[in-house]
Chain A
């Protein structure tokens, strides 16, 4: 794992992508910092960070796009997969290398609150927590991008799909407001979600009994609950899907100074899920 981690990290900074990413993120944040904190005199650096959240939409796909698709295209994955190293370790090594690239600009960000402090009052606790959560949110996005990269041979497709997914997540709150809130539509929505999950399991395992079972049991539970207690489903869709508005955990800190622990747990679990899915996607490719 360490070998892969070191090689990846070195390649990010040798191939310019890492440097471009760091420069890009720091430059944009610097512009926001100048505008909000230095010019307008606003004492929270966290506010600046929430402005540069949009930079992630382009920056993260830039570093994740090549993670697996390039290896697959150049057939270098043959070296990794025939070496005495488990696939989980290969994925983890690559993931940690990307996280380390992301850590570089975040470490630089740690200087900004100190600059504010030099000029007067600074709110260091909020600022550093928000940098930490900002970094964690980036880690979530990297996990998603890495998974999408493992599905394709083309870096460009990996970039575009990751960008699309991140943009969707960014705009999620707005999209959610179009969802219906009645109980019946909530139930139908949940049924659709269960079907999507079952279809994915069927696609990955090819096991009709397992996926059919999940579909049937899920649907049965849904319908029974709906008949017994239909008001449970009111606003259900918005509640369930609202969790996908990942950036909310971060913006809560920056705008209201509220740290939502469950939100951070959600971040960590999404990271674990996508690392797992990446391993599965690579395993699946060996078998088809």
Chain B
């Protein structure tokens, strides 16, 4: 019998995202939940996963309890296979060496476009956000997994500003704009796993997390989102997964 575990929303995000990664993939990871999820996957089912960090690290092994404050400090480089310049590590995306890009999001829309630049009118914003970093490069050039909290203000019909492109206006608009590869693969939230229709490129629900109802997803999404009647339910986080996460982040920098 499976033991019922209690877990935080961030732990759920990290576990569900980590499960989407496959052994052998090369994953370009941001800091926070992406870093935790990829490290979790590496420890449990993907010893052959290769992590890339934007600061210029290829193939590191993050040390438990010493999580880096960004992807650009020496803590990112532990047991790495190679250190290279920022420009060269990002060029691996353009050259086609990266299977999955993995990052968090502030605001996302029905076509998977991400905004991390401005809340409100970009010319006169209510909030100036920190910006793209490598987010635009990653989402322009490879297949993406995004992990974020599921809130109405974050899941909007149209983002105020497209920092990191998803499927732009849907249909073939992404490819038409010159972004011929990559695109949104999955969005992982604390309520569900979302994917995108092959034709329209609109976001839909791929699976609900345990105990989550379709109504909850509708109530927390700022646009009409498709949920099929026979939608799958995910398996709850296991003790083994939560143990690894809590060992990695004992100070609860990211899993609180």
**A and B found bound together:** no
Give residues in B with beta carbon < 8 Å to A.
none
Give residues in A with beta carbon < 8 Å to B.
none
